[in-house]
Amino acid sequence: MKLQEAHRTATAIFKKRGWKVFKFQRDTWNAYASGESGLVHAPTGTGKTYAVWIPPLVEWMTEQDKAGKAKRAPGLSVLWITPLRALVEDTKLSLLEFCEEMDLPWTVEARTGDTSGTNKARQRKRLPSCLVTTPESLSVLLSYPDFKDSAAGLKAVIVDEWHELLSTKRGIQTELCLARLRKWNPRMRTWGLSATLGNLDVARSALLGTSAEGKLINGGLKKKFQVEAIVPRDMERFPWAGHLGGKLVEQVAERIEKASTTLVFTNVRSQTEYWFNALLMIKPKWEGEIGIHHGSINRKTRQEIEDRLRLGTIKAVVCTSSLDLGVDFSPVDQVIQIGGPKGVARLLQRAGRCGHQPGVASKVICVPTQAMELVEFAAARDAIEQMKIENRVPLRAPLDLLAQHLVTLALGEGFSHKAGLEEIRTAWSYRDLTKEEWGWTLDFIIKGGKSLSAYDQFKRVTRKRGVFSVESRKVERFHRMSIGTITSDPAILVKMRSGKALGSVEESFISRIEPGKNFFFGGKLLVLERVRDLTAYVGLAKSKKGTIPVWGGGKSPVSSELAQSVREKLRDAAEGIFEGREMKAMKETLALQANWSSLPGTNQFLIEKTKTRQGTSWFLFPFAGRLAHEGMAALVGYRMSKMEPMTLSVSFNDYGFHLCSNSDREIGNEEWKTLLSPVDLLNELVECMNLSEMAKRQFREIARVAGLVFQGYPGAPKSGRQLQASGGLFFDVFSKYEPNNLLLVQSQREVLERQLEVERIKEAFTRIQEQSLILNHPDKLTPFSFPLWAESVRAQLSTESWGDRVRKMAVILEDSA
Amino acid sequence: MGRPGPKNGRNFGGLRLKHASNSVEISWQGEKLELWSAKAIHWPAKKLLLVADTHFGKAATFRKSGIPVPESTSQDDCHRLEELVRQTKVDSLVFLGDFLHARDGRTEGVHKELLDWRKRLSRIAVHLVRGNHDLQSGDPWPDLEIQCHREPWTEFKFDLRHHPVGPTAHPFMAGHIHPGFSLKEKSGSSLRSPCFQVGKNRIILPAFGTFTGIKTVKPDRDDRIFMTDGQEVIEVPTY
């Protein structure tokens, strides 16, 4: 069959389904046919899947006719990688459906951690034509020596939702796996599917590695987005975080009532529990008609909710990012976002969950939880119009993952010193991996680090005739079980007396609840009975009151792009421009701010000094996101106390930070510029942030990935009891005996980059140096400062020794007893 | 009024907190005991030093399974024990269980290190009250000359055990738990360290081994908690 003819067959099916072929789809088909790789970016629900699924099928059809009509399914030809296990089954079905309509004998199967042992074994004997899997499962496949032969006929790897993987360790794991597959099969094509990002070229490079150029195909179409906020009926001028939302429950309920199926997105899991219960409180008849969905809820329960969404038999689902991704829930006709979206890409993604019919706008209704979020919504709308979308930056050469991957390779085909380094360097994140880093990582898995005693029996990877491999069966077993434990900390399983699993919560939460006390989980009010062996046994509560769990992971900060847009909105307001309903609603509040203090323009930086009951409060407003503000507050406080000894407490939010002191010092323009200087920033930050504690926490993940902590998996028999040690313990031991351990360096770097966003701090400080300072002394709290004051978490700056800290805390406890 | 605290002592709201001290003296069941920051108890009247949960060979066990842990941890622990014995001038040393971590950890390297250590301390008597790990890993090499006992070992005034037991008429000292205590600030940040848990009838020692974890304990009503970071030992309030 000729290529064009085969394409016509595919087009016919489009026609039968009532679709037409878009230009970007045809472009992708042609690029694939000429042997190219690339990245297709478009919002959800635009047919990206068929842009990349049809070409390999069509190619196979053309080959068949050359070799006479074969009706047997080919061996492994396409690997389809998706970030979420939950997506695997759905993806499989929709790929398979198309094959059947085309009347092709292709087999499509799923393989994840959930796939049964028998199926896995069968698959290893004969892989399907297309295997739908996750990065972890692909990595496990690479650890089997015979996988190389099964993958000999591999034509293409498709990576779905690449934007989601890109800046994570799982994305880098994908990069490394692709590097190996390409080494086996240099002509293999790689195609990624991504939502729109600010740095698509980087996204493409990371996917394709250093060896190929590749296409970037825009499937953007002219998808329309509408962002509309619910404006509170009576605007409060001083609302604090989380307070406003509750007043809007009725308005939200009205919207849900009018639509047929609504997704209600919140930013954190605890908010999901709150809103679900709040909605049921005012609409008891919705019991059973609305659902709750977040990452801690039992997978089966989540699956039921997803099925009902697909069928349109559920009124509304309150959810977190757990439903950001996934196959299309066509019946969803309305999306509500509770709280600031924090990012433009995220809001687009969520809005894209509805309005799938071509030409229909994706509309998202935004609900502010504090007044300033109205500005955020207006800013997000501007950013969407100007297509100012966030960048996602891949991590640079994480060695924990490299160590894991090298053991995987050693278990599989093996690798040699020189070719191994070359191969790893074709993965984008490791393109400038130094010889030193490579050598250190090899030492780490071969000798267990630099230190090697005469009696050492360290065994993980051994070298024979130049090839690194694994000999120990124990290492083999542990390693396969450990691949894919990148994701999370061990959690406490929540189980009913009857044995029904409800989901999981973090240990830190459950340890604060006494048996007999109530808490909300999965929309139910439960009573804790006892905790045993990582399981919390619960029953349904009899009384009505309970606590809402606070999960870790926390809030993500407002993105640089969105923060920039917010600053522009305020600048407009300062000039008297109030566009859109949201900004008009904010007019009075912002006027008050201008009246009592100031609204900063683009070249201005606002500082307010106010007397409060706690002492002197300084409020600074860099609009750089909460993480950067946390670091900035600590740093400025540290520098202030070097000028004059003083006790300080700090608080921060996405817009600014607050320093409260017992000193009444007058700080002038010049002094402020010094306090906010980017000079020597990194060193001082390390000194004042208790960085080693943060690094220690970060090290838990690193220890897991690098294979130091063997965690097993939930429900696994407790093997290796003698090999249990926590990541924190490894951190302490390494710090003491091997301070040059590069994994320690990595943990510190990850803290600076990911938790403190040190680049944004630098950027903000540099910007402030060029701005003119407005120092105001309002005699009352202003609309800007009020939320900071109200939220003020009294975090003392702690730079003292262990002993001093213990003594101080002891005294505070003593006083309050 | 009571006499002023020991040197460098300070008074904080009724709490006597010594400054930077590497041991604290307590009076317990009519005996004077010293809690050392190096995670040992010195009982001067009996010229006795007690430590729990050394877990020698734990690093070796890990390394044998391909998990890289620096080996010098056990060397360090030996030095610390030696230093303690030298400073307290005791005649006997008692391990309250879990001397060796696991059978896999009985390597030549660990044996040699312990033998060197024992030779340097040949003058004192060494005892082990067997713990759960010792049952799995077996008694120490005979040339270490460590006398092993089943718990409770009742040679002295108090029961010496590995596993703590419930309410009992016999006051005892034990290990096994690896107790740690967590102080929480209002801001939510917390500080966690190993601790001695001293109750009316029992004392639980912190784990001595460097490469051992800690378990945060909830003190009983009449418990006193002494936190230590290895350098200092400080009593903290428990409410």
Residue A496 lies in a domain: no
Q: Determine the pLDDT at residue A358.
A: 60
- Structure tokens, B152: 């409770």
Contacts of A12 (CB under 8 A, 6+ apart): none
Q: How many domains does chain A have?
A: 4
Separation CA A676–CA A635 (nearest Å): 9
- Structure tokens, B24: 């604290």
A674 or A1, which is more confident?
Answer: A674
Residue-by-residue DSSP string for B116-166: HHHHHTTTSEEEEE--HHHHHH-SPPGGG-EEEEPSSB-SSSSEE-SS--S
Contact indicator for A166, A133 with CB cutoff of 8 Å: no
b/e for A661-687, b at 16 or more Cβ within 10 A? beeeeebeeeebeebbbeeebeebbee
The proportion of chain A whose per-residue pLDDT surpasses 90, expressed as a percent, equals 41
Decide if A451 and B70 are in contact by the 8 Å CB cutoff.
yes
Separation CA A354–CA A387 (nearest Å): 19
Q: Are residues A674 and A698 in the same domain?
A: no
Considering only the C-alpha atoms of chain A, give the largest distance between any 2 of them, rounded to a whole number of Å.
89
User: Which one-letter amino acid corresponds to residue A244?
Assistant: L
Between residues 677 and 696 of chain A, which touch chain B (CB distance below 8 Å)?
690
Residue-by-residue DSSP string for A490-531: --EEEEETTS-EEEEE-HHHHTTSPTT-EEEETTEEEEEEEE
Helices (H) and strands (E) in chain B, counts: 4, 17
Instruction: Using pLDDT thresholds of 50, 70 and 90, give the confidence band for residue A43.
Output: confident
| Contact list, A724 vs chain B (CB under 8 Å) | 213
- Structure tokens, A705: 């990935």
Q: Determine the pLDDT at residue A715.
A: 44
Residue B5 lies in a domain: no
Decide if A802 and B232 are in contact by the 8 Å CB cutoff.
yes
Q: Determine the pLDDT at residue A795.
A: 41
- Report chain A's mean pLDDT, rounded to a whole number: 85
Query: Domain holding A632: CATH number?
Result: 3.30.1360
Rounded to an integer, the average pLDDT of A801-807 is 64
Strand locations in A653-798 (E):
657-661, 772-776, 795-796
ipTM surpasses 0.90: no
Separation CA B226–CA B26 (nearest Å): 11
A31 or A502, which is more confident?
Answer: A31
Q: Are residues A163 and A30 in the same domain?
A: yes
Decide if B65 and A807 are in contact by the 8 Å CB cutoff.
no
Separation CA B27–CA B48 (nearest Å): 16
Query: Domain holding A192: CATH number?
Result: 3.40.50.300
Instruction: Find, among B121, B119, B127, the residue nearest to B89 by Cα.
Output: B121
Q: Is A467 helix (H, G, I), strand (E, B) or coil?
A: strand
Q: Are residues A247 and A190 in the same domain?
A: no
Task: Kindly compute the dihedral angle of the four CA atoms of residues A98, A101, A102, A106, in this order, to the nearest 10 degrees.
Answer: 60
- Residues β-bridged to residue A773: A605
Task: Tell me the per-residue pLDDT of B6-57, one tens digit each, with 9 for 90 and over.
Answer: 333 333 333 344 445 789 999 999 999 999 999 999 999 999 999 999 999 9
Q: Determine the pLDDT at residue A245.
A: 60
Between residues 72 and 111 of chain A, which touch chain B (CB distance below 8 Å)?
none
Task: Match 């953007």 to its residue by tokens.
Answer: A220
Per-residue pLDDT for A147 more than 90? Answer: yes
Q: Are residues A715 and A792 in the same domain?
A: no
Residue B11 lies in a domain: no
Min Cα distance A815 → chain B (Å) is 7
Decide if A460 and B188 are in contact by the 8 Å CB cutoff.
no
Q: How many domains does chain B have?
A: 1
The chain A residue lying nearest B72, using CA atoms, is A737
Q: Are residues A336 and A458 in the same domain?
A: no
A661 or A725, which is more confident?
Answer: A661
Q: Is B80 helix (H, G, I), strand (E, B) or coil?
A: helix
Rounded to an integer, the average pLDDT of A144-169 is 93
The chain B residue lying nearest A721, using CA atoms, is B102
In Å, what is the CA distance from A741 to each residue of A101, A683, A748, A766?
A: 56, 20, 12, 33
Q: Are residues A180 and A100 in the same domain?
A: yes
- Structure tokens, A657: 């930070």
Task: Match 């609900």 to its residue by tokens.
Answer: A367
Q: Are residues A422 and A305 in the same domain?
A: no
Decide if B15 and A726 are in contact by the 8 Å CB cutoff.
no
**Among the ranges given (A213-222, A506-515, A646-655, A713-722), the one the predictor scored with the smallest mean pLDDT:** A713-722
Instruction: Find, among A329, A360, A347, the residue nearest to A222 by Cα.
Output: A360
Min Cα distance B36 → chain A (Å) is 15
Q: Are residues A620 and A738 in the same domain?
A: no
**Cβ neighbours of A733 (radius 10 Å):** 20
> Is A534 touching B (CB cutoff 8 A)?
no
Q: Determine the pLDDT at residue B90.
A: 96
Interface test with A, best of B110, B187, B233, B236 (most A CBs within 10 A): B187
- Report chain B's mean pLDDT, rounded to a whole number: 86
A664 or B16, which is more confident?
Answer: A664
Decide if B101 and A722 are in contact by the 8 Å CB cutoff.
yes
Residue A301 lies in a domain: yes
Q: Determine the pLDDT at residue B22.
A: 87
Residues spanned by the domain of A268? 225-385
> Is A805 touching B (CB cutoff 8 A)?
yes
Separation CA A485–CA A475 (nearest Å): 16
Decide if A806 and B186 are in contact by the 8 Å CB cutoff.
no
Residues spanned by the domain of B147? 22-236
Task: Match 């510029």 to its residue by tokens.
Answer: A673
Decide if B68 and A449 are in contact by the 8 Å CB cutoff.
yes
Q: Determine the pLDDT at residue A238.
A: 54
Per-residue pLDDT for B148 more than 70? Answer: yes
Rounded to an integer, the average pLDDT of A531-548 is 78
The DSSP secondary-structure symbol of B197 reads E
**Cβ neighbours of A77 (radius 10 Å):** 21
Task: Tell me the per-residue pLDDT of B122-135, one tens digit each, with 9 for 90 and over.
Answer: 999 999 999 999 99
Separation CA B58–CA B55 (nearest Å): 6
> Is A19 touching B (CB cutoff 8 A)?
no
Helices (H) and strands (E) in chain A, counts: 31, 27
Decide if A802 and B107 are in contact by the 8 Å CB cutoff.
no
Decide if A814 and B211 are in contact by the 8 Å CB cutoff.
no
Decide if A460 and B239 are in contact by the 8 Å CB cutoff.
no
* CA-based radius of gyration for chain A: 28
Decide if A814 and B14 are in contact by the 8 Å CB cutoff.
yes
Residue of A444, A733, A809 with shortest CB distance to B211? A733
Domain boundary, last residue among A385, A410, A426:
A385
Task: Tell me the per-residue pLDDT of A715-773, one tens digit each, with 9 for 90 and over.
Answer: 444 445 667 778 888 998 898 888 889 999 999 998 888 888 899 999 999 999 999 99
Q: Are residues A263 and A283 in the same domain?
A: yes
Query: Domain holding B161: CATH number?
Result: 3.60.21
Q: Write the Ramachandran bin of A395: left for phi over 0, alpha for psi from -120 to 50, otherwise beta.
A: beta
| Contact list, B232 vs chain A (CB under 8 Å) | 802-803
Contact indicator for B105, B57 with CB cutoff of 8 Å: yes
Q: Determine the pLDDT at residue A356.
A: 64
Contact indicator for A390, A343 with CB cutoff of 8 Å: yes
Residue A142 lies in a domain: yes
Rounded to an integer, the average pLDDT of A801-815 is 63
User: Which one-letter amino acid corresponds to residue A807?
Assistant: R
Interface test with B, best of A697, A729, A737, A815 (most B CBs within 10 A): A737
Q: Determine the pLDDT at residue A486.
A: 52
Q: Are residues A99 and A166 in the same domain?
A: yes
Residue of B112, B193, B236 with shortest CB distance to A455? B112
Residue A35 lies in a domain: yes
Separation CA A377–CA A229 (nearest Å): 7
Separation CA B194–CA B213 (nearest Å): 9
Per-residue pLDDT for A338 more than 50? Answer: yes
Separation CA A204–CA A194 (nearest Å): 10
Residue B10 lies in a domain: no
- Residues β-bridged to residue A720: none
Residue-by-residue DSSP string for A532-568: ETTEEEEEE-SSS--BPP--TT-PPPPPHHHHHHHHH
Residue B12 lies in a domain: no
Q: Are residues A685 and A612 in the same domain?
A: yes
